[in-house]
Amino acid sequence: MATENKMGVMPLNRLLISMSVPMMISMLVQALYNIVDSMFVAQLSENALTAVSLAFPAQNLMIAVATGTGVGVNAALSRNLGEKNFDRANRIADHALFLAAMSYIVFAIFGLFFARQFFRLQTDIEEIVDLGTTYLRVCTIASFGLFMEIACERLLQSTGKTIYSMYTQGLGAIINIVLDPILIFGYFGAPALGIAGAAGATVFGQLIAFGLGFYLNKTKNHEITISLRSFKPNGEIIRHIYAVGVPSIIMASIGSIMTFGINKILIAFSSTATAVFGVYFKLQSFVFMPVFGLNNGTVPIIAYNYGAGKPDRIMGTIKLAAVYATTIMLCGFAVFQLMPDKLLMIFSASDTMLSIGIPALRIISISFLFAGCSIVCTSLFQALGHGMLSLWISVFRQLVVLLPVAFIFARIGGLHTVWFAFPIAEAFAIIFSGVCLVHVYRKEIIPLKAQQGK
């Protein structure tokens, strides 16, 4: 290459904004889609909405595998580009698509043979089992677009082409939102497919997004060359990808375990308390998704500059990301504190839900004050190949602290005290993240600075 990639030379503030803002926008579109999709399905019946909700752990696992693998690809590819090892970077790009195809096969087999058993483990209501099986089978057997779309997006992110990644994610979500009512209710002459239509809209949007993502990688992503004609799987490259990817996959799956545990604690008080927690999760995505987008933009910058031997750009990126993440979280905290009632009324909250939800949102949102910096720390750990540290922070926050504290508070203080488990867990997590940050700084950044000074 005649000139260096922008991640090694562009002013950091402009670079971080250009890398992250497209990801923030696309993730906000995804958050909007989650709410709109649930709204349309709810118009079919309450059982249909329940079926889609019960399918969430399986769908979340698919996304966790795809995005976790993508994190490993992101870190490995960006680092090799920084080292100017373009041949290995191309091979990593080929492996990204190969691993996406292998992941698809596993989940297609699961959907074909085990979808009904998956729902029977959760409920004995036959209508929900039938609706859920129909929905999940379509989402898994036709999930090729999901895995390949995310792989293509990660390749674009790895080389700094996040604006194109935004196009693919945004297009997929918009197509999904547009097709939902058409395929569910049979508008414009289309057959009314019900819950199968909701699943069909999802997978069709993913396939279109994959097509655009592959096209953009072939025509716009000049830093890498995708060529599968003579492709042969390489165990060393796969291990290198999953050294970061597996912890990310597990980390993304931990949220499902935490949600299940909190729901079990809350249902002992009332179903409304569980509903409040579900509403909170939909609302908080509009705060956390932009920070996750910032995280996705930060990882390739750090990985590239680590490979290029530029420690000052690494630390400068971390500091800027921490400032932006904290600012976003403060804005979210202010909204949750000042207008929790208005947020709850988006979901037609009853008086009982308001009485439980208003103090709940205000208490839980205290955790926002700590969460931003923790997320930024994980971006550094992932980019430098220390994915296990990100995993341990997530396990510590959600399983070691949050669930036990919530369980104890429920026993000794009642429902109102359960919500305090969230800020307590986040406070412990930021301390743990700080300890890990010092460790990584001493192990990776200080030697890099010493090498630069020679």
CB-hemisphere CA count at 13 Å for 415?
20
Tokens representing residue 394 in the block: 């997530």
pLDDT at residue 350, rounded to an integer:
76
Query: How many structural domains comprise the chain?
Result: 1
DSSP string, 301-315: HHHHHHHTT-HHHHH
pLDDT at residue 13, rounded to an integer:
84
Distance CA 215, CA 180 (A): 25
Distance CA 313, CA 396 (A): 30
| DSSP letter (8 states) at residue 220 | T
Model confidence over 90-147: pLDDT tens digits? Answer: 888 888 889 999 999 999 999 999 999 988 876 777 887 899 899 999 999 999 999 9
| Cα 224-227-233 angle, rounded to 5 deg | 100
Examine residue 1 and state whether it is found in any structural domain, yes or no.
no
pTM metric for this prediction: 0.70
pLDDT at residue 2, rounded to an integer:
41
Distance CA 275, CA 262 (A): 11
Distance CA 256, CA 339 (A): 28
Examine residue 126 and state whether it is found in any structural domain, yes or no.
yes
| Cα 305-7-174 angle, rounded to 5 deg | 125
238 lies in which domain range? 6-453
pLDDT at residue 144, rounded to an integer:
93
pLDDT at residue 1, rounded to an integer:
39
Residues in the chain predicted with pLDDT less than 70, given as ranges, are: 1-5, 34, 46, 50, 122, 271, 348, 453-454
Examine residue 194 and state whether it is found in any structural domain, yes or no.
yes
**C-beta contacts of 305-308 below 8 A and 24+ residues apart:** 305/7, 305/8, 305/82, 306/79, 306/82, 306/383, 306/384, 306/444, 306/448, 307/78, 307/79, 307/80, 307/81, 307/82, 307/83, 308/4, 308/8, 308/82, 308/83
Examine residue 130 and state whether it is found in any structural domain, yes or no.
yes
